[in-house]
Amino acid sequence: MSLTIRGQVISTEKEDGSSFMTADAIIFKYPKEAITSKSLIIVQPTERAIVLIQGQIVADLPPGSHNIQTPGNPVSAFLSKFRYNTLPYDTIVYFISTTRHEVRVAGVSQTDDLVPLEYETAIYFRVQNPAALVTNVQFGSLYFKDADLAHYISPIVDQEVSSVLNRVNLTDVFKKFSEISTAVTAALKQFLAEIGVDLISVRITRLLPQDPELRRIIQLRDMGIPLMDAVRMGLARILAEQQNAAAVNMAIGVPYYPNLSTIVNLPDGLIRVGIGRRGQQQSGGAQQ
């Protein structure tokens, strides 16, 4: 990534009008080698800027223009305290997005009857305390993005989702959407507040069996088809994909009797005798 220093202006805005602060970026770390004592820090309306010097947070700058050399600026106050004439090399500026963000956390859990379920949660949040967030997360590049936060909170989400799903059977699992959302919200709200993030809401966007055949059976059941008929229709579809002639019989629930001579390599007379004897035994039993 190439950076252009525009008269020592420290900002997320590029020369071409685009921004380093992409839609999925929560934190952007400005390269410290581009920061000098004559820098002008410009913070956009949807951002806040955290200035660190020698490992200490010396300023939390709101939207607007901030001249480092202005006497009232907290950065200049820090420099005068230590009698620095120039900014030390270890000066870092973090730009933090204050807009609403959304992350998706997905995983696999199971019900009380050991049916694997795939789930996905949509989590909406906003950074409330930029200084707390900067001091509580770690990232190796210039960005801390939504995907990084999703990875950070996924163990908590998985624990809370499983705490509900592990106690219910598959037939009742879809009645637990609100209970899952409540459990995840309660756990995340406290956890995120500790790192300066305000949780807005949590929604369950996906909760389906991992087995695709079981998904189709449930869909047919929810359309009003009795459960056993839904199972039979699912089996009929599998037979149809295999080009099995029994698929139609499975779908309508009628037994299928193939020509036994095509299955068992026996003389026709022997098969006919066997069938005849079986029919006589059944008719004789009926007469008795």
**What CA–CA distance (Å, rounded) separates 5 from 228?**
70
Q: What is the model's pLDDT at position 258?
A: 67
Superfamily (CATH H level) for 100-209:
Band 7 domain (3.30.479.30)
B/e letters for 133-156, b = 16+ CB within 10 Å, e = fewer, are bbeebeeeeebbbbebbbebbeeb
Copy the structure tokens of residue 33. 């080698």
Q: What is the model's pLDDT at position 37?
A: 67
Q: If we measure between CA atoms, which residue out of 133, 106, 102 comes closest to residue 201?
A: 102
Question: ∠79-81-82 over CA atoms, to 5°?
Answer: 70
Tokens 């499975």: give the residue.
250
For CATH 3.30.479.30, the residue range(s) in the chain are 100-209
Q: What is the model's pLDDT at position 81?
A: 57
β pairing state of 9-10 and 40-43? parallel
Tokens 């069996």: give the residue.
209
Q: What is the pLDDT along the chain (288 residues), one digit of tens a residue?
A: 444 444 478 899 988 888 999 999 999 998 866 576 677 889 999 999 999 888 889 889 999 998 877 666 777 666 655 555 566 667 889 999 999 999 999 999 999 988 999 999 999 999 999 999 999 998 888 999 999 999 999 999 999 999 999 999 988 888 888 999 999 999 999 999 999 999 999 999 999 899 888 888 877 877 888 878 888 888 888 888 888 888 888 888 888 766 654 545 555 554 444 444 444 544 455 444
Residues composing the chain: 288
**What CA–CA distance (Å, rounded) separates 196 from 127?**
6
β pairing state of 25-30 and 91-97? antiparallel
- In this prediction the pTM is 0.74
Label residue 7 left, alpha or beta by phi (over 0 means left) and psi (-120 to 50 means alpha).
left
**What CA–CA distance (Å, rounded) separates 187 from 96?**
24
Copy the structure tokens of residue 24. 């999925």
Q: If you write DSSP's letter for every residue of the chain in order, what string do you get? A: -----BTTEE-SB-TTS-BSS-TTEEEEEE-GGG--TT-EEEE-TTEEEEEEETTEEEEEE-SEEEETTSTTSHHHHHHHHTT-SS--TTEEEEEEE-S-EEEEEEEEEE-TT--EEEEEEEEEEEES-HHHHHTT---SSSEEEHHHHHHHHHHHHHHHHHHHHTTS-GGGGGG-HHHHHHHHHHHHHHHHHTTTEEEEEEEEEEEEESSHHHHHHHHHHHTT--HHHHHHHHHHHHHHHTT-TTHHHHHHT------GGGTS---HHHHHHHHHHHHHHHHHHHH-
